[in-house]
């Protein structure tokens, strides 16, 4: 389920569907996206993306292959997103602005691909962003106070329409986070096996 350079491909994100999607949904979405990316399409043809979509359909459309893939998917989802290991997101005031936008980008993408369950818990954000919850509390408070995020019924955090506007307005000025969202569209967000919340955060950032 990897690219030639070893990056794990998230087929659910590539197809922009929920992990709980039924076969009929997978088939319908694949046909729409494949038609758009088919190399014979003179306007939007994209051979590389078409082949990725085809592979995603072959895997998720086969119960046995999907079960095997889901096991690997679960492992990948437990790892931090590699982008957040960069110094741009270091603990402290220097990284705070990027942390806010980074958290919003995660919630933006979550709502796009999983509208039925648009929220991420503080524990999930802590794991994905390689940041202790104590370091995220100020970030979350600010975003809630600005009404960019809200808490859902299960106490997870979800982006609001104001938050969506803020992300889309800010992305042109922040190439790092723009790249993160574009990678998510391609299903190629990199997860880092070299960092975990069992490490001191300062050590993770310095590595």
Give me the tens of pLDDT residue by residue for the chain, a chain 207 residues long. Answer: 555 455 788 899 889 888 889 999 999 999 999 999 999 999 999 999 999 999 999 999 999 999 999 999 888 877 778 778 887 777 677 788 888 988 999 999 888 878 888 999 999 999 888 888 888 999 999 999 999 999 999 999 999 999 999 998 887 777 777 777 776 666 665 555 443 333 433 333 333
CB atoms within 10 A of CB 207: 10
Maximal CA-CA distance, the chain: 52
Same domain, yes or no: 113 and 157: yes
Domain that holds residue 137: 82-206
pTM listed for this prediction: 0.72
Same domain, yes or no: 96 and 186: yes
Angle formed at CA 97 by CA 127 and CA 122, multiple of 5 degrees: 25
How would you class 81 by CB atoms within 10 Å of its CB: exposed for 0-12, middle for 13-18, buried for 19 or more?
Answer: buried
Do β-strands 157-159 and 149-151 pair in parallel, antiparallel, or remain unpaired? antiparallel
Final residue in a domain of this structure, among 77, 111, 128: 77
CA 132 to chain CA centroid, nearest Å = 19
Same domain, yes or no: 71 and 94: no
Q: How many domains does the chain have?
A: 2
In sign, the C-alpha dihedral spanning 89, 144, 197, 183 is negative
CA 60 to chain CA centroid, nearest Å = 19
Same domain, yes or no: 59 and 86: no
């Amino acid at each position: 389920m990897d690219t030639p350079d070893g990056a794990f491909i998230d087929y659910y994100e590539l197809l922009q569907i929920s992990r709980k999607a039924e076969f009929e949904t997978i088939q319908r979405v694949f046909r729409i996206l494949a038609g758009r990316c088919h190399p014979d399409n003179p306007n939007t043809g994209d051979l590389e993306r078409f082949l990725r979509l085809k592979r995603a359909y072959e895997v998720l459309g086969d119960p046995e292959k999907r079960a095997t893939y889901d096991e690997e998917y679960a492992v990948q989802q437990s790892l931090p997103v590699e982008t957040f290991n960069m110094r741009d997101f270091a603990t402290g005031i220097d990284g705070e602005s990027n942390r806010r936008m980074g958290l919003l980008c995660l919630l933006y993408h979550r709502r796009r691909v999983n509208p039925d369950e648009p929220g991420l818990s503080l524990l999930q954000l802590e794991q994905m962003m390689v940041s202790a919850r104590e370091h995220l509390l100020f970030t979350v408070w600010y975003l809630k106070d600005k009404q960019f995020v809200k808490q859902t019924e299960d106490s997870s955090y979800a982006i609001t329409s104001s938050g969506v506007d803020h992300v889309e307005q800010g992305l042109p000025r922040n190439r790092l986070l723009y790249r993160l969202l574009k990678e998510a569209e391609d299903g190629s967000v990199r997860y880092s096996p070299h960092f975990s919340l069992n490490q001191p955060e300062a050590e993770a950032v310095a590595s």
